[in-house]
Structure 1
Amino acid sequence: MIFSTEAKLSQLSIHKVGNKAAAEPLALSEQPYPVEDEVLNGILLQYFTGGFLKVNEIYRLHHPTSNLALNEVYHFCKSIFADPESFHENSRQLAKQLYDIADHPNIKPGEFYVVYFQNIQVEGALVDAVGLFKSENKETYLKVTPSAGAFGLSYESEAINIKKLDKACIVFNVEEELGYKVSVIDNTNKSGEAVYWMDGFLNLQIRNDEYTQTHNVLSIYKEFITDKLDEKLEVSKPDKIDLLNRSIRYFKENEQFNLDEFSNVVLDNPVAIQEWKDYKQHYEQESGSEIGDSFSINNAAVKKQARTYKSVLKLDKNFHIYIHGNRDLIEKGFDDAVKMSYYKVYFNEEQ
């Protein structure tokens, strides 16, 4: 988790990066932007760092050849950390690199901010960092001002909402030899049609720590239960929900994950257990990311994944049944008289 309460924004350069594929220009500033105004400094800090408070994933800069020096973002950030006086020139090089890989027709033009932070906190340590930000979406704001016993009304179009980061990355000056610790946000390309920010520009690889392992196990287990288990076994929707609830319960009640224990406790079926282990192994082979059979459970990852686990049984457009507890207290049947299915639910008291 990232905190900016002690952080100082010491240098800032702003450039305009267009879409190269659409022949839009790249406009590089000649000088860094002075950040002497304390109010503006505070606003910029809020804009640049506020979205990272709930970001837990840590990435690394990397290169497919394993030669980190070939990752341009790594190279320019390393140069900045080695010589902060070179900040602005390296910010221009970073803008050129971003422009060169903007070859998808859906990439929007926008301002590209390069920031040098001092004393920003990541995982309990205060370090310097280089921030890379691109604003693509603009909004219109109204401004009301008193005027001679009445009020005047004006507006500003093409303005930036400081509570909405489009693309952001912070490279922390720690663990340089591993590709630094990197935190990233991309709120404009969730469809995956233009993943140039994370893959083309930054070239990131997620750090395989306990957060990532916890997140990945819960994610692939959910896919397995939702999409794959009923290819081998007949599994009703209430049973699927129950299997998902059991997994979340296991992760909330234990500090350590153990693959055999988890499989036996949660699935409790030899065929399902083997299918699950095969599915996990297939994921590891396809993704190139190994998940240990035993690791410490990360509560932040559990909390995040639990939000995606749905315990709702939807019946036509009339009813939703939320299944949180004992699966044995709900039964499915078919009424021959009305030719419709039904569920019978047992309970002690109505709340």
Structure 2
Amino acid sequence: MIHVSDIKDLERLTIHKVGNATNEDPLVLSQQPLELTDETIGTLLLSYFIQPFTNNAEYFRFTHEADLHLNEVFKYCSLIFEDKENFQEQSVNIAKHLYKHSTHPKIKGGELYIVHFSKCQVDGEEVEAIGIFKSENRDTYLKVYLSNDNYEVNYDDGININKLDKGCLVFNVEQEEGYKVSIVDSISKQNEAVYWKDAFLQVQRREDSYHQTETMVSICQQFIQKKLPEEFEMNRVDQIELLNKSAAYFKDREEFKLNEFAEEVLGHPDAVDAFKNYREHFREEFKLDVPDEFDISGAAVKKQQRVFKSILKLDRNFHVYIHGNREMIERGYDEERTMHFYKLYFEEEK
């Protein structure tokens, strides 16, 4: 969780205009930081910058294939953290670096805001931070105002402060690891948006409890839904029971332990061996570090709850939600109708 305590923490702010280099849009650089004299504008900007990050529990880190110090955004942020007087010069370098990577024909130009926050609280720790934010989309707003005892209507275009297009917060902690970085990208599913995370920032997910939990949840879900049915005879109800037991394990435990999970959730020795082999194959194929034991991230579990689907879909007629005792549902086959059926046992109807 990220929190900026009050407006005084927005210590420095500068704005540049970064166009699309391929389309020959200009790069317009401010010569000095913006002086905020209106407290309301400062408050609105602070909300615009920070609000999208408040429920973001996933962190990244700057990387480079040869040497971390060759990552340009990492280098420019480090120089600002070392001396605040470097702020304006390094903000220009950040803008030039983004302009260099704004080459995809569908990338929109927009205002680039570079901000220095003197006090941020991230995961309970108070640190300084650098914010890099870009607005690409503009909206049209109606202006209703009183003129000569009559109301008039006009319009203007501007930025929707409730929707940040792209953002990055760099926290001044763990510099040697590439800092702790949080990212927002409202159009990250589109190919042209890859430039923000991969080309411009060059970041990777941090190998922390959030990432480890998210990865292991995915492994468990794929193993139960795809791998187990290939090796063992089981129906959809059996799968749902295992998914429910997996979900309960991650929800109720503070720490993941591979052997404990395998024994409590899967139980059968052959299934346990198959799961451990699947985990190893997953680690090797995707080059991921998935340790045998790690702290479970509640935020990651909450985000991944959707993968544990406990819905039994029967043709297009019925959806059965299975949450409890596996013994209360029985599968059969009707010879006369030549159709499968489920028998449900219950004590009361609500």
| Smaller-chain TM-score bracket | over 0.9
The equivalent of 2:32 in structure 1 is 31
Overall identity of the aligned pairs, in %? 49
d(CA) in 2 for partners of 1:273, 1:193? 42
Shift in CA distance, 44/266, structure 1 to aligned 2, threshold 3 Å: same
Are 2:260 and 1:261 equivalent residues in the alignment?
A: yes
Deviations 1:130-179 (A, max 9, x none): 1011112222222333455553322223x222121221110011222221
1:339 Cα deviation from its structure 2 partner: 3.9
1:232 Cα deviation from its structure 2 partner: 2.1
Shift in CA distance, 153/227, structure 1 to aligned 2, threshold 3 Å: farther
The equivalent of 1:120 in structure 2 is 120
d(CA) in 2 for partners of 1:153, 1:343? 63
d(CA) in 1 for partners of 2:314, 2:146? 56
Are 2:294 and 1:316 equivalent residues in the alignment?
A: no
The equivalent of 2:143 in structure 1 is 143
d(CA) in 1 for partners of 2:337, 2:138? 56
Shift in CA distance, 76/57, structure 1 to aligned 2, threshold 3 Å: same
The equivalent of 1:284 in structure 2 is 283
Deviations 1:301-340 (A, max 9, x none): 2222124422222233332211111122222333344443
Moved more, 229-238 or 163-172: 229-238
Do 1:80 and 1:86's aligned partners in 2 also have CA atoms closer than 8 Å? yes
Do 2:13 and 2:115's aligned partners in 1 also have CA atoms closer than 8 Å? yes
Determine helix, strand or coil for the equivalent of 2:22: helix
Do 1:62 and 1:68's aligned partners in 2 also have CA atoms closer than 8 Å? yes
Are 2:97 and 1:105 equivalent residues in the alignment?
A: no
Do 2:95 and 2:112's aligned partners in 1 also have CA atoms closer than 8 Å? yes
Letter of the 1:14 counterpart? I
Moved more, 311-320 or 330-339: 330-339
Do 1:170 and 1:182's aligned partners in 2 also have CA atoms closer than 8 Å? yes
1:20 Cα deviation from its structure 2 partner: 2.4
Q: How many matched pairs?
A: 349
The equivalent of 2:17 in structure 1 is 16
Shift in CA distance, 279/23, structure 1 to aligned 2, threshold 3 Å: farther
Do 2:107 and 2:192's aligned partners in 1 also have CA atoms closer than 8 Å? no
Determine helix, strand or coil for the equivalent of 1:240: helix
Are 2:332 and 1:333 equivalent residues in the alignment?
A: yes
Unaligned runs of 5+ in 2: none
Do 2:187 and 2:193's aligned partners in 1 also have CA atoms closer than 8 Å? no
**Normalised by the size of structure 2, how large is the TM-score?**
0.92
Shift in CA distance, 242/154, structure 1 to aligned 2, threshold 3 Å: farther
Shift in CA distance, 12/310, structure 1 to aligned 2, threshold 3 Å: same
The equivalent of 1:217 in structure 2 is 216
Shift in CA distance, 149/6, structure 1 to aligned 2, threshold 3 Å: closer
Determine helix, strand or coil for the equivalent of 2:85: helix
Shift in CA distance, 318/76, structure 1 to aligned 2, threshold 3 Å: same
The equivalent of 1:350 in structure 2 is 349
